[in-house]
Amino acid sequence: MTIDSFNPATGEKIGKVESTPIGDILRILDEAREAQKDWASLPYRSRASLLRSFGDILLSRKRIVAELVSRENGKPLTEVYTSELVPSLDIIKYFTKKSAKILRRRHVRIGIPLMKTKRAFVQYEPYGVVSIISPWNYPLMLPLGQIVPALMAGNAVLFKPSEHTPLVGAMIGELMWEAGIPRKLFAVVQGAGDVGAALVSAGAEKVFFTGSTAVGRRVSEIAAKNLTPVSLELGSKDAMIVLPDADIDAATSGAMWGAFMNAGQTCVSVERCFVHEKMFDSFLALLQKKIKDLHVGAGTDEETDIGAIIHRGQFEIIKKQVNDATAKGAAIATGGAFREKGGTYFISPTVLVNVPMDSQIMKEETFGPILPIVEFRSDTEAVDLANASRFGLAASVWTADSKHGLQIAKRLRAGAVIVNDLISYYGITDGVVGGVKESGTGRVHGKEGILEMALPKYYEVERAPRMKKLWWYRYDKTTLSFFEVASDFLFARKISQRVSSLLRLAPKILRMKKI
């Protein structure tokens, strides 16, 4: 069975890949397990060398890669560079440079005096085989944000790209193999939801899923049957709070880009904008003026700002939410045009005002170039409105007073809060990305990202192997009395009590009998 790939801006078929037979997945998993043994035995510098070669190849073919991503995903070429290629190259640079230090052996200091004969340490070790299931909206950067640290940590990877961007997924595999990463160690599994479900249930040591909350919940249910650990990066409804002292020029430009880049098909895009009543009218007027200059079209056109919607299903979700909002009293201040022709789907950048909080567009993830704007009157109201969501991936606060902005940020329930910027934090590999509530459970990027790829294993060595431990058999009154007094010595807060207990311990030790 083949998977056809189409350009969402033209409807043109641009290629096809073979779907992986579900019956082959267990074999692929077994082959990956065997390959992982050799890979895990390599030093970090050897793994890093191969991944740097992959990065070199990616950089040398950046224009070819950018054009493929744009043609298959629909986003403008400029956005491929800013949101896919540059972050991906930084991911490779960061993890090949810092993984060894982050995952190095950690000495454990043992605090209980009775245990001081022991030497202990924690070693971070690979899970084995991890399955990485990635979405279509960032088909290069999102998977590499997990693939690179997974490989650096010593894992094998089974990678399933979205069925809507299979060519980019296949390209990642080809470039990896060209760089010298073994094919059986890094396998590309192609297919739709049934293949993804089979991959989750196959029994890999960990599953990483990025996508919608509904599918993430299903992934968790399937993985739970084998008690497979899962890391989830799911949907969101990110809030932008604009305080009355914010720079209106920067805030409107930020709101526009934050809501419309990648045609709004971004997990950390602005999907709810809360503007203080004192600047609401001026904010809206300037935003409308700026939106008029945006160009909607094919991503391969260098003048395009907003590309196509990926497929009909997503187009219909966006249209349904806008219709629901207007039916409940919202007004379209700008945009509102939905264009469907020859298998292509475009939506003009749209701003909604007077949006009821109970409308779908204020509660469900939209994933389209739609910006609902709501007035607020106080900090408390803004925080309450922003937190009134089952999601919590990211948020932003806009103000001239950064101290005040951070105070509000601390009150927002989100995995990340940015003051006077948005979205671009996702491209900083040194940072950390992840959500709360129904936006997910795992973390990517930074130290936390690679720790998701490794198991902390505890090792302990007894340096007095012939010594019988005081807590071993046999138990008697002397043993009980000893540990009652020892508890005072170890944990009493008064110095006098600890000194007194110490004097009582010595004779008890001599009377304790161990077998």
Q: Per the residue annotation, which of 79, 163, 267, 273 is the catalytic one?
A: 267
Alpha carbon distance 83, 78 (integer Å): 8
Provide the pLDDT for residue 64: 98
**In this predicted model, what pLDDT tens digit does every residue of 238-281 receive, in sequence order?**
999 999 999 999 999 999 999 999 999 999 999 999 999 999 99
Is the model's pLDDT at 407 over the cut of 90? Answer: yes
Average pLDDT, the chain: 97
CATH for 239-429 is 3.40.309.10
- Cis peptide bond prior to 474, omega within 30° of 0: yes
Is 512's pLDDT higher than 90?
no
pLDDT at 65: 98
Neighbours of 413 (CB within 10 A): 17
pLDDT band (50, 70, 90) for residue 115:
very high
- Work out the angle at residue 288's Cα, subtended by the Cα atoms of residues 285 and 292, and round it to the nearest 5 degrees: 145
pLDDT band at 362 (very low <50, low <70, confident <90, very high): very high
Question: Looking at residue 511, what is its pLDDT?
Answer: 85
Please state the pTM of the whole predicted model: 0.96
Strand partners, 242: 275, 398
Look at residue 508 in the predicted model and tell me its pLDDT: 84
- CATH topology for the 19-234+447-457 domain: Aldehyde Dehydrogenase; Chain A, domain 1 (3.40.605)
Taking the mean position of all CA atoms in its chain, how far away is CA 190?
21
β-partners of residue 352 are: 332, 372
Helix (H) or strand (E) holding 333: strand 331-334
**Whole-angstrom Cα distance, residue 223 to residue 227?**
6
Q: Are strands 106-108 and 156-160 parallel, antiparallel or unpaired?
A: unpaired
The predicted structure's pLDDT at residue 175? 98
Kindly list the domain boundaries of the chain, sorted by start residue.
19-234+447-457, 239-429, 468-511
Res 506: pLDDT: 83
Is the pLDDT confidence value at 514 over 90? no
Active site residue 233: yes
- Reply yes or no on whether 174 is catalytic: no
pLDDT of residue 510: 82
What is the average per-residue pLDDT within 486-503?
92
pLDDT, residue 56, reads: 98
Question: CA 117, CA 428: separation in Å to the nearest integer?
Answer: 44
pLDDT digits (tens, 9 = 90+) for 297-343: 999 999 999 999 999 999 999 999 999 999 999 999 999 999 999 99
**Residue 455 β-bridge partners:** 125
Tell whether the model's pLDDT for residue 466 goes beyond 90.
yes
| From 31, 72, 79, 233, active-site residue | 233
Which pLDDT value is given to residue 197? 98
